[in-house]
Structure 1
Amino acid sequence: MGRWKKVTVEDIAKKIQYGYTGKTIKKGHYKYLRITDIQNQSVDWSTVPMSDVSSEKDIEKYKLEINDILFARTGATVGKSFLIEDYEPSIFASYLIRVQPQEIVFPKYLYLYFQSESYWKQIRAHEVGAAQPNVNGKKLGKIKFPLPPLPEQKRIVTKLDALFADIDKAIGLLEENLAHTQALMGSVLDEEFGKLEKVSSKKEKLKNLTTKIGSGSTPRGGQSSYKQSGISLIRSMNVHDCFFKDKNLAFIDDEQADKLKNVEIQENDVLLNITGASVARCCIVDSSYLPARVNQHVSIIRTDENIFPEFILYFLISPKMKSKLLYDSAGNATREAITKSMIESIEVPIVSLEIQQRLIDKIKESFRLCDELTKTETQKLTHLRSLKSSLLDKAFKGEL
């Protein structure tokens, strides 16, 4: 690294500039690139709206050029950058900062540095404002980075591009495998319940197989009335397919719980989300979270002695049944919702408890194998993604 120099962004920038303040219009001559148009280090130009920019002075000042580097200066994506490599005639919006590098810097070299942990440490140190983190142009200009001779910059970019392409290919294959593994779980459910229908054509409405179907309510005062501890109040955010998520689990006191005693959860109750974006998600809550109640977005399904709760759980989350529930809920006049009568009218295949148990055991074993495979593939994905960070670190230390 003998010929490498430590410089700042302002040392090598022709320009560090805020974007245009304007509005979008239906018809115009220039696209209006905003923070929200930059997703996963790419831009779908077909979705970028037109700008109201009209004066030649503003167009000349704010129009994008190849090798511009744009930064999000505020919001959840503060510090994220985007290199303009191809584009449609566009100007950039005011919540973006543009850096135009001088000729001594290969633009993609600088852009790749902006993906490194060394860069992000500086950004976090320079963030201004607690409520809404932001980085202004002056702070961005003070970011330090190592600058080798131009040929070395180009060599590093070529090497990183090749390595990243291999990593991205491997990540893509793993993500496909992961998607197939997760789809396999659904296929197992549909296959097993499909076999049951061939074994027994007898079906029974769910209302005739349960001792309770019903949802609760939110205590007076809403979230402000929740307690730090006490009796669990289970909401739709806690109910996921086949697992219970205790993040943001709410609590109520004895007095509040007494008003909801008709929706007290018992061990092995099946919980079904009946409204909103998470409608049709379903699980059985572990007894360690009891005593508990449910709010109005979650229904309790309590089976009788003729059917196992897990049998109903797996039946409800099978892709075929879930599709029906989602279709029925979408037909509600006011919002996505599964009504009590819809739940009661669900037709369940009737088989002996012995056959139910065999099916439950088989599904559990299939899920266990899928979970193991998912865990292995997720670990590999995590490793590959961290490998990019490691390669960037080596590259900007002159070790690549």
Structure 2
Amino acid sequence: MDKYSFFYKIPDNWCWTKLGKITSIIGGGTPSSKINEYYDNGDIAWITPSDLSNYNNMYISKGKKMITKLGLMKSSAKLLPKGTVCLSSRAPIGYVVIAKNELSTNQGFKSFLPSKVFKSEYLYWYLKSIKHILEAKASGTTFLELSAKKAGEVEIPLPPISEQQRIVNRIESLFAKLDRAKELIENTLAQFEQNKMAILHKAFTGELTAKWRKENNIDLSSWKKCELKEVFKVVKDKYNPQTENQIVNYIGLENIETSKGIISKNNSSEVKSIKTKFKKDDVLYGKLRPYLNKHDVVNFDGICSTDILVFRFNDINTAKYINYYFNLPMFIQYAVENSSGINLPRVSEKTISKYKISLPTIEEQQEIINILDKLLAKYNKIKNLEQQLEKIELLKKAILAKAFRGELGTNNPDEESAENLLKEILAEK
């Protein structure tokens, strides 16, 4: 068989083939939920794609529900043997697990029965690496689904069995190291968030500047209770692209990142609808899905999405102070709980304006900002670890790409060709 048939060059003792030639592909089914006898006291494991949401193990023994033998008999569900590779074929496409024991699935799966020519773990990792190909082969109007026929047409590079095992071992060894690094980074980031919240709490309760107040003979009673509308005004100046010719800076919600603030900007050349104007030192606050906590003090003039509220303050220190305050969990919770809309919740300017705070003097606000800037600057370096998490995921993809090209350094060219084994199996059929 031509080593260049499908995607890329593979070692000489490997061969390209299609899944439909090396395994049986089985669909699933759902017993009627109206008949209790199909589920009550069931002892047959039955899985659905929802069972695999946030499920990270390679093997699965059961899902949330069990079905009875009668339920299996009265539906199109099939009893699959241990070692079957189960692929979710719709809603969504691409979840993969290996049956740890006999089990069945609903119709949201295409399952690949064990075969003499492949290791289940090898097929597991291969399917994980080609999610984009599986999706491209799917079709449907209401939702995309990968049919058994299309699944059978999926090409796979097939090494000798012993090489498949070495590839699996190598992938799992490398992934274990990367997962350990990922865990350490995530723990560090979680500790950072915890420490940051503790610092912010101290800042807005007066604890952070207790020494400063003592040195300046100022009492905590200098803090005044007020509503936010007393310290800012909501800017409603509009930009109409049909009447204004000047190209200006544009900020959309996509330009503001959770906990980081403004990370990029565009210009108004592509703007087609009415937007809100803002000026340098205004606070931009994303009112859509307030749990995303998108806001920042802007350092240039421009326009922004109408899903962003623009707050203008009399003093830059107050703007920075309130921008920090927006990070408090209790404020985020307030904004979320007082939002309207189910699928696209938004918090109104009126709701934000009514929020009550204790506000220190301008001088103490400035001191708090100075302290927070210095303390959180250190943590911002730690936040760069998030980029390392992205690199880990890219490394995993690179490892899988090399694995199925024979580039992990595990292949033994002297081993009998996988093509010979494949011919023997096909001859038996």
Would you say 1:348 and 2:361 are equivalent positions? Answer: no
- In structure 1, distance between residues paired with 2:135 and 2:340: 47
TM-aligned CA distance change 1:236 to 1:128, over 3 Å:
closer
Q: Residue deviations 1:33-61, cap 9 Å, x none?
A: 22222124547988724559835535795
1:40–1:303 distance in 2 versus 1, CA, 3 Å = same
Contact 2:25 2:113 in 1 (8 A): yes
CA contact (8 A) 2:31 2:74 kept: no
| Worse overlay, 208-217 or 141-150 | 208-217
SS of the residue corresponding to residue 83 of structure 1 reads: strand
CA distance in 2, matches of 1:396, 1:332: 49
**2:67 counterpart of 1:54:** no
How many angstroms apart in 2 are the aligned matches of 1:167 and 1:214? 47
Mean CA deviation greater in 388-397 or 325-334: 325-334
Q: Distance in 2 between matches of 1:91 and 1:349?
A: 61
Q: CA deviation at 1:338?
A: 7.4
1:143 to 146, 154, 162: 154
TM-score, normalization by structure 2: 0.68
Q: Is 1:379 matched with 2:387?
A: yes
Of 233-242 and 20-29, deviating more is 233-242
CA-based RMSD of the aligned residues comes to 4.4
1:40–1:266 Cα change, 3 Å: same
Is 2:112 the partner of 1:99?
yes
Secondary structure, aligned partner of 1:146: strand
Which residue of the other structure, out of 295, 304, 310, is the alignment partner of 2:320? Answer: 310
SS at match of 1:114: helix
Letter aligned with residue 392 of structure 1: L
The alignment covers a number of residue pairs equal to 372
Q: Which amino acid aligns with 2:128?
A: Q
| Counterpart contact for 1:272–1:281, Cα < 8 Å | yes
Are the aligned partners of 1:34 and 1:95 in contact in 2 as well (CA < 8 Å)? yes
In the alignment, structure 1 residue 243 sits paired with structure 2 residue 261: yes
Equivalences for residues 229-378 of structure 1 within 5 A: 240-241=258-259, 243-244=261-262, 265-272=278-285, 277-278=290-291, 282-290=295-303, 294=306, 300-305=310-315, 308-317=318-327, 319=328, 322-323=329-330, 326=333, 330=337, 340=350, 343-344=353-354, 346-353=356-363, 355-375=364-384, 377-378=385-386
Give the ranges of 4+ consecutive aligned residues of structure 1 lying more than 6 Å apart after TM superposition: 43-47, 215-218, 229-239, 331-336
Match of 2:96 in 1: 81
Secondary structure in 2 matching 1:20: coil
Amino acid at match of 1:166: K
Q: What's the TM-score once normalised by structure 1's chain length?
A: 0.73
1:367–1:8 distance in 2 versus 1, CA, 3 Å: same
Deviates more, 1:179-188 or 1:164-173: 179-188
Q: 1:236 to 1:52 in 2, by over 3 A?
A: farther
Q: Which position in structure 2 is the counterpart of 1:188? A: 199
Q: Which runs of 5+ in 2 are unaligned?
A: 1-10, 214-218, 239-245, 411-429
Q: Is contact 1:33–1:48 with CA below 8 Å preserved after alignment?
A: yes
Relative distance call for 1:383 and 1:332 in structure 2 (3 A) is closer
1:193-236 residue CA offsets vs partner (Å, 9 max, x unmatched): 44356334122133488354458799xxxxxxxxxx99999887
Q: Distance in 1 between matches of 2:253 and 2:123?
A: 45
Q: What SS class does the counterpart of residue 110 from structure 2 fall into?
A: strand
1:373-400, CA deviations, whole angstroms, 9 ceiling, x for partnerless residues? 322x233323332332333333333333
Cα deviation, residue 99, structure 1 = 0.9
Shift of 1:16: 0.5
Paired residue for 2:48? 34
Instruction: Work out the CA distance in 2 between the residues paired with 1:143 and 1:208.
Output: 59
Gaps (5+ residues) in structure 1? 219-228, 258-262
Q: Deviations over 1:312-366 (max 9, x none)?
A: 211332x3xx31562586389999867847744623341343x433432332343
2:223 counterpart residue number? 203
**Partner AA of 2:25 in structure 1:** I
Identity %: 18
Aligned AA (1:66): K
Q: Is the 8 A contact 1:4 1:148 kept in 2?
A: yes
